[in-house]
A and B are shown apart, each in its own frame.
Chain A
Amino acid sequence: MGGKILLANIDVPGIRGFDVYRETGGYKSVEKALKEMTPAMVNTEVTKSGLRGRGGAGFPTGLKWSFLDRKTDRPRYLVCNADESEPGTFKDRYLMQHLPHLLIEGLIISSYALGVNTCYIYIRGEFKYLVGILEHAILEARDHGFLGERILGTDYSLKIFVHPGAGAYICGEETALLESLEGKRGNPRIKPPFPAFKGLYGCPTVVNNVETLAAVGPIIVMGGEEYAKFGKGKSTGTKLISACGNINKPGVYEIEMGLPVEDFIYGAAYCGGIKGDKYLKAVIPGGSSVPILPADLMLSTAKGERRLMTYESLADGDFATGTMLGSGGFIVFDEDACIVRNTWNLAHFYRHESCGQCSPCREGTGWMEKVLFRIEHGQGKLSDIDLLVRISKNIEGNTICPLGDAAAWPVASAIRHFRREFEFHVEHPEAVKHINHGALPVSALP
């Protein structure tokens, strides 16, 4: 099980505490960065590492950092996005629960590189128990001189605060997160201006995901080029994948990018195959927002190549036959899973989580949910299926923030790949009433 970077020491007893973490080589990167490197050198290493945003968008972290407005004399902020709410994703929670110091370490170096003296961790309110863990870890780091005034005797000072959200998926969008951090409704901001220029309190701000920031420490220790040797092509390093659904071993796995999807699903070190030896029906590989793919397209691309766990391979074939790596929330469906019910379920989620600010998302998510509800409950019409496709197209790309796209893609892709199942629901309203909880494998459809 080589190729572990973030979770290399996860099994060491007591790793959550400062002392054990330090003994296993923790906070070395802070000493190295603050004493031997300039902020610019840290930036260079991160750029060289090819690290990409692990929150879902996969935007190169070094490039994002380079956008930060460093010319102003206003304070700059780093905000850690720990509002992990994407259905299927629970990797950040795992990381913060077991390795809080890995995150703190990454925050210190990143803040140093960005010239930031105040840093906030925005964590979803439901993770209340993690607030205590993180606060405690911050206290420990401060007591050992890694946080506060004049860290390790250098001129650099940093404060980190934990800020809980209160139950809103939309606050995972970076500008909604900033609004929420300012004590407002989580309405995403109209861009431009981007946070790199006008973020928290109108000051230049970088918002990064937990996993992204956690990777910065190891990158500084091993060097950017060394990190980039992990992985495949432009998908460098490792990625935490949170696997769930109808599999034998749900959980969080660190994989080296480039692992074949088939090995991930069936490998004993990972998901361990489908529960009850059933057939694989479909997978949503990157959190509920990314397109669902049927088994055959999940295991190999339309060109017949093996599908790999990389940003590029999963996106191969675009949306016609591909999907996205997203946040790494890997949801597996077996032969008995009902795609219509699941699509309705997710549509309900997006309707509930839309902030309601812009019209396509506010109205469109509710409309899709209502139509899907009818189809799932045996009251659909065949024309509803095309209507859903049309609504999803009309939402996509026309909204303020990506939640619109995130709501549209699951519906569009489910119909794209499983239209027959939707039609069956419409044509056999009586049958689906009795077998509501996900029945009807594709093979059983007439």
Chain B
Amino acid sequence: MLKVTIDNIPIDVEDGTTILQAARMIGGKVVPPAMCYYSKLKGSGGKCRTCLVKVAQSSAKDPRPIPKLVASCSTPVQDGMVVQNLTSPEVVEARKAIVEFLLLNHPLDCPVCDQAGECDLQDLSFGYGMEETETVEERREFPATDIGDKIKLHMNRCILCYRCVYAADQITGKRVHGVLYRGDVSEIGTLIKQAVDNDFSGNMIDVCPVGALTDKTFRFKSRVWFLKPMNAHRDCPACAGKVTAWLFGEEIYRVTGRKDQYGELEDFICNECRFEKKDPGDWIIEGPRHIKRQSVISANHYERMKKQSIILPIAGKMEDQF
């Protein structure tokens, strides 16, 4: 077992644990936000840089700090490592900078985006973003496209986390989409006009941290905070059949996988469960699902927002979200 201290809280973890995983074991405020890391997708992480933390002491053997901030999702813990997340002003500054970069070309079209209310970027911006921006540059714009008859791609909103690429690689049989081109014009795409069409493609929607990939069967039907999430299951030959059914009245508006407090699916579900089974009779409803990770809008935080340039997460805005 290795001993690691994160924001002054010690914990013993197994060899090979990353800083982020260790922080999640502690839970609460010490957990750095993660936009691209996804524990169930091999190879994910390291790209968005929102989970950067300060390593104040590398290990018991080598007490020197690591000069640069490190991505907590991909840095393994060493015995005696001392990590600072919110206790390091440097980390908070860097995270604000990352949010500014992520929002630089983001359309901020939350009012018409289906992801609003359960969007990781929205939460992150609320925690670390600025109210005003210095940029006067035009935003980069991509036309919206369909990839398959059930999935809409809004490349404008994409933060290039690569999660959907890993998901297609690892849980669907054949990957037909990927990251094309490079630099600030890189995009998620198929290059040739073709549908992302296989039984598990819908999981790309669930792993997307933003509103880049949305469910066309649910498009513009309702804001998520008006829906009642219910745990439901069915006997499905293709997947575990355990889902969250989102009800409006007695009607099922959409079906998603069951997400944990970090927005990660407990089980990947098949497209039939997700897109085809919208009749309450298809499901055995277990009861209301407690959404552990409350999002910005359902927490109704906007009322408390004051005109100030930066909302400091340390000041205690983030903690009651967990």
Inter-chain contacts of B46 with A (CB < 8 A): 190, 358, 400
* A359 nearest CB neighbor, chain B only: B101
Q: Which residues of chain A from 327 to 375 have any CB-CB distance to chain B below 8 Å in the complex?
A: 351-360, 362-367, 370-371
Whether B221 sits at the interface, judged by CB under 8 Å, is no
Residue ranges of A at the interface with B (Cβ–Cβ < 8 Å): 168, 185, 190, 192, 351-360, 362-367, 370-371, 383, 387, 394, 397-400
Asked whether B94 lies within 8 Å of A355 as measured between CB atoms, the reply is no
Asked whether B47 lies within 8 Å of A371 as measured between CB atoms, the reply is no
Whether B193 sits at the interface, judged by CB under 8 Å, is no
CB distance from A375 to the nearest CB of B (A): 12
CB distance from A125 to the nearest CB of B (A): 15
Q: How far is the CA of A47 from the CA of B48 in the complex (A)?
A: 38
* A370 nearest CB neighbor, chain B only: B137
* A396 nearest CB neighbor, chain B only: B68
Q: Given known contacts A356-B160, A359-B48, A398-B94, is B183 in contact with A366 (CB within 8 Å)? A: yes
CB distance from B20 to the nearest CB of A (A): 12
Residue among A355, A360, A364 with the highest chain B CB neighbour number at 10 A: A360
Q: Which residues of chain B from 157 to 204 have any CB-CB distance to chain A below 8 Å in the complex?
A: 159-160, 162, 179, 181-186
Residue among A168, A357, A359, A400 with the highest chain B CB neighbour number at 10 A: A359
Of the listed stretches B71-79, B208-216, B233-241, B293-301, name the one at the interface; the rest are far from the partner chain. Answer: B71-79
Asked whether A358 lies within 8 Å of B183 as measured between CB atoms, the reply is no
Inter-chain contacts of B147 with A (CB < 8 A): none
Interface of chain A, main secondary structure: helix
Asked whether B48 lies within 8 Å of A365 as measured between CB atoms, the reply is no
9 more A-B contacts (CB under 8 A) besides A357-B160, A370-B137, A387-B134?
A168-B182, A352-B183, A363-B184, A364-B101, A365-B183, A366-B184, A397-B67, A397-B69, A399-B49
The tally of residues in B whose CB lies under 8 Å from a CB in A reads: 35
Residue among A352, A354, A367 with the highest chain B CB neighbour number at 10 A: A367
Whether B100 sits at the interface, judged by CB under 8 Å, is yes
Asked whether B48 lies within 8 Å of A362 as measured between CB atoms, the reply is no
Q: How far is the CA of A352 from the CA of B181 in the complex (A)?
A: 11
Q: Can you offer 11 A-B residue contacts whose CB atoms are under 8 A?
A: A190-B71, A356-B181, A356-B183, A359-B47, A359-B98, A359-B159, A360-B49, A371-B137, A387-B134, A398-B49, A400-B71
Asked whether B104 lies within 8 Å of A367 as measured between CB atoms, the reply is yes
Inter-chain contacts of A367 with B (CB < 8 A): 101, 104, 135, 137
Q: Which residues of chain B from 44 to 74 have any CB-CB distance to chain A below 8 Å in the complex?
A: 45-49, 52, 67-69, 71, 74
Q: How far is the CA of A359 from the CA of B134 in the complex (A)?
A: 18
Asked whether A358 lies within 8 Å of B49 as measured between CB atoms, the reply is yes
Asked whether B101 lies within 8 Å of A353 as measured between CB atoms, the reply is no
Asked whether B182 lies within 8 Å of A398 as measured between CB atoms, the reply is no
Inter-chain contacts of B17 with A (CB < 8 A): none
Inter-chain contacts of B184 with A (CB < 8 A): 351, 354, 356, 362-363, 365-366
CB distance from B22 to the nearest CB of A (A): 16
